[in-house]
Each structure stands twice: as structure tokens, then as C-alpha cells.
């Protein structure tokens, strides 16, 4: 009697697939660990890499390309962890195939791509669409959200976020250096833009931006390796974000949230909360990790939404706004003028 029961349970497992097996391997591991789900397909530009991931995981079959995923009725969710330039076309294909999608940042790179995705998402019935902004799963991100919500910091008037990449070889020697229009803001600074938007709870009205490629001068990398954006919000608050891919230090994020009652700082010295201007009063140490447990930490929340997609529209709308805010910084940097953001 137990064998038919086991077979019945197996047929009820939902299917997942992953495109791109660099960071995507962590997505695949998360699907393997998710109750009620099974990893069905693995896709990578390098078939041997896909086979090695399959051997390490003991799950999934290697597909020659993503086309088989879109047509497979047993696959409900797909992770897109390919190169940035491929995201938009693969998102569009996934939406046409009726899949829920978990996409590595950035969701897409231009307003034109975003508008196509928005139309396809509506036409597909608003499936789950989430971008892997992993800091959302960090304990500090959640602690800060609570501190802002309960007024512990007072009225928030400024947010500073520095994305300090510290991996110069990845843009001078890896695929990023071969992209026609790679953006350090969309490819890295987006994490802190997302945090800034969460803290302020409103969209900016304008942005000015500046950048340079001093750190990569003389290399094959043709784009800005440093970008700084200054956002103005309707409340009068100001956000400053830098994407610093040439920084000479280990990879990290530095965040400062300024309120009328307190200042929260997170950097390589730890997380501190200042609630006084008295130089004799030390800050409170906050024991909340600034990083999540792994790159697949948001997959459980994504799968929960995929099981109840009717309430997931707000998530996709959040991702669309984030792209608009990042693209505005790139446009301001290219034009040398302040860029207005439409409401």
C-alpha cells in the first residue's frame, strides 16, 4: 500500500528550471531543498558546466537551450541567472510560456525592454515575477525596516549607500567587459537603490549622476566602473547611491540611514545605531547580519508566491519601479543633466 502513496506524492511535485549556472547553481540547490518542488531542467551556455552541476546536485536534466523549458507543462517556475543582456528576451519568453519567473538582477536594462515586459506580464495574467535582490533577505534589512516603521530613527531625511564591488577582474576579464552597454548601477548599485526605495517608501522625482572609468583605464572594459547618483524625493529626502566597481577593498556594502532621532551605519566596522550627538555616548551595536545566508535565500518566498499567485502583482510592480529608478540614473549620467522621473 505504501508504494502507490509514494508515487502519488511524486506526481504532485511542481517543477523548476534554472538558466545560467554561475550564481544559478545556488538557485538550483534551493529548488532541490524546497518541499513540494523538484528541479527538472538545467541550462547553461557551457553544457559541461551544466553536467557538473547536475552531478553535484544529483537532480535535474541538462537541456540544450531554454526553449524546452518554456514548452514543458511540468515546469511552473524558472530562474533566469544568465548574462544581463539576455534577461529581457528570456523573461519575455517565460511570460509567453506561462511561467512564474525569478530573475537575477537586473530584471532588464532599458525602458524599452521594461515596457515590453510590462505588456507581456499583463497579457500573461500577471504571473509571479521577482528579482533576486538578495539583501532583502538579510537580517539587517529587516531590522532597519522595523526601526524605520516604528519611528526609532525619527523622520528619515537621507540614505547613503555604497556598493563596493572589490572584484575588478570580473569586469576586465569576465563577460561584463564584453557587454555593449554594461551598467554598474543596474548590475550592482541596484541592491542599494532597492534598499533606499524601501526605506523612503516613495519614488524619487529626479536624479543627477556622474561617473568615470579611471580604475579600468587601459583595460578592455569600455564603460564607467564608478557611478554616483543623487536622488531627490517628494518628501524632501535625499538618497545618494554609488556603484564602485574599482574599489581596492573586499566586496561589501556601506549603508547610512539618517533620521531626526538616530543614525544607522553598516560598514566593515559592523552595524551601529547612534541615538545621540554626544561624543561621549557610544553607539549601540546591532547584532543583525548585513548579508543573507546565501544567493538562494529569496527562493522560498518566491515559491510561496508561485503557489498563491493571485496576490503577487505588487511584487512585480515593485521590480518595475526599481528598474525605472536605476535607468533614470544611467540616462542622467549619459546626458549630463538632471533626469526627471515620471510618477
- Please tell me the predicted confidence (pLDDT) of residue 7: 33
Q: Which of 113, 265, 135 is nearest to 189 (CA)?
A: 135
List the domain boundaries for the chain: 2-134+297-312, 137-292+324-340
Residue 78 · residue 69 · CB < 8 Å = yes
- Reply yes or no on whether the pLDDT at 134 is more than 50: yes
**Three-state SS at 53:** helix
Task: Give CA separation, 244 vs 204, 226, 278, 333, in Å.
Answer: 22, 5, 32, 15
Q: How far is CA 89 from the centre of its chain?
A: 18
| CATH superfamily label, 137-292+324-340 | Dihydrodipicolinate Reductase; domain 2 (3.30.360.10)
Beta-carbon count within 10 A of 299 CB: 26
pLDDT, position 12:
65
Residue 121 backbone class (left: φ over 0; alpha: ψ -120 to 50; beta: rest)? alpha
Cα–Cα distances (Å) from 224 to 146, 162, 188, 208, 265, in that order, read 35, 16, 12, 15, 27
Give pLDDT tens digits for 106-124.
999 999 999 999 999 999 9
Neighbours of 188 (CB within 10 A): 25
According to DSSP, residue 219 is labeled S
Q: Which has the closest alpha carbon to 25: 5, 1, 51?
A: 51
pLDDT at 51 over 50: yes
Distance CA 303, CA 340 (A): 36
Sheet of 206-212: strand order equals 284-285, 270-274, 263-267, 252-259, 156-164, 238-244, 226-232, 206-212, 339-340
Q: Backbone phi, then psi, for 115, in 5-degree steps?
A: -65, -40
| b/e map 87-99, b = 16+ CB within 10 Å | bbebbbbbbebeb
Q: Quick one: pLDDT at residue 179?
A: 78
CA–chain centroid gap for 38, Å, is 24
Q: What is the pLDDT of residue 114?
A: 98
Q: What is the pLDDT of residue 130?
A: 98
Query: What is the distance between the alpha carbons of residues 65 and 47, in angstroms, rounded to a whole number?
Result: 9
Q: How confident is the model at residue 6 (pLDDT cuts 50, 70, 90)?
A: very low
Closest to 216 measured CA to CA, from 207, 206, 203, 225 = 225
Q: How high is the pLDDT of residue 313?
A: 95
CATH 3.30.1280.10 assigned to domain 2-134+297-312? The reply is no
pTM: 0.93
Amino acid at each position: 500500500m505504501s508504494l502507490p502513496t509514494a508515487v502519488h506524492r511524486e506526481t504532485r511535485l511542481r517543477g523548476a528550471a534554472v538558466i545560467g549556472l554561475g550564481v544559478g547553481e545556488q538557485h538550483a540547490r534551493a529548488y532541490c531543498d524546497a518541499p513540494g518542488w523538484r528541479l527538472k531542467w538545467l541550462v547553461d551556455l557551457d553544457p559541461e558546466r551544466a553536467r557538473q552541476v547536475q552531478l553535484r546536485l544529483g537532480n535535474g536534466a541538462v537541456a540544450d537551450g531554454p526553449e524546452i523549458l518554456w514548452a514543458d507543462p511540468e515546469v511552473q517556475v524558472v530562474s533566469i541567472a544568465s548574462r544581463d543582456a539576455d534577461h529581457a528576451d528570456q523573461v519575455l519568453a517565460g511570460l509567453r510560456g506561462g511561467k512564474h519567473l525569478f530573475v537575477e538582477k537586473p530584471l532588464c536594462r532599458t525602458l524599452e525592454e521594461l515596457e515590453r515586459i510590462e505588456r507581456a506580464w499583463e497579457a500573461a495574467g500577471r504571473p509571479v515575477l521577482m528579482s533576486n535582490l538578495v539583501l532583502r533577505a538579510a537580517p539587517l534589512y529587516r531590522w532597519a525596516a522595523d526601526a524605520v516603521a516604528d519611528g526609532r530613527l525619527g523622520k528619515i531625511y537621507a540614505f547613503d549607500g555604497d556598493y563596493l564591488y572589490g572584484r575588478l577582474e570580473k569586469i576586465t576579464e569576465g563577460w561584463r567587459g564584453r557587454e555593449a552597454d554594461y551598467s554598474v548601477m543596474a548590475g550592482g548599485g541596484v541592491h542599494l537603490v532597492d534598499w533606499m526605495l524601501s526605506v523612503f517608501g516613495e519614488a524619487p522625482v529626479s536624479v543627477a549622476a556622474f561617473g568615470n572609468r579611471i580604475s579600468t583605464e587601459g583595460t578592455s572594459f569600455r564603460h564607467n566602473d564608478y557611478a554616483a547618483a543623487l536622488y531627490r524625493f517628494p518628501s524632501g529626502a535625499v538618497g545618494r547611491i554609488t556603484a564602485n566597481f574599482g574599489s581596492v577593498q573586499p566586496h561589501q556594502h556601506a549603508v547610512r540611514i539618517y533620521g531626526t532621532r538616530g543614525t544607522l551605519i553598516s560598514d566593515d566596522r559592523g552595524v551601529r545605531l547612534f541615538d545621540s550627538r554626544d561624543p561621549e555616548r557610544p553607539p549601540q551595536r546591532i547584532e543583525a547580519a548585513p548579508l543573507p545566508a546565501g544567493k538562494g535565500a529569496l527562493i522560498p518566498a518566491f515559491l510561496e508566491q508561485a503557489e498563491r499567485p493571485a496576490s503577487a502583482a505588487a511584487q512585480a510592480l515593485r521590480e518595475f519601479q526599481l528598474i525605472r529608478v536605476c535607468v533614470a540614473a544611467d540616462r542622467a549620467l549619459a546626458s549630463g543633466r538632471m533626469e526627471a522621473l515620471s510618477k
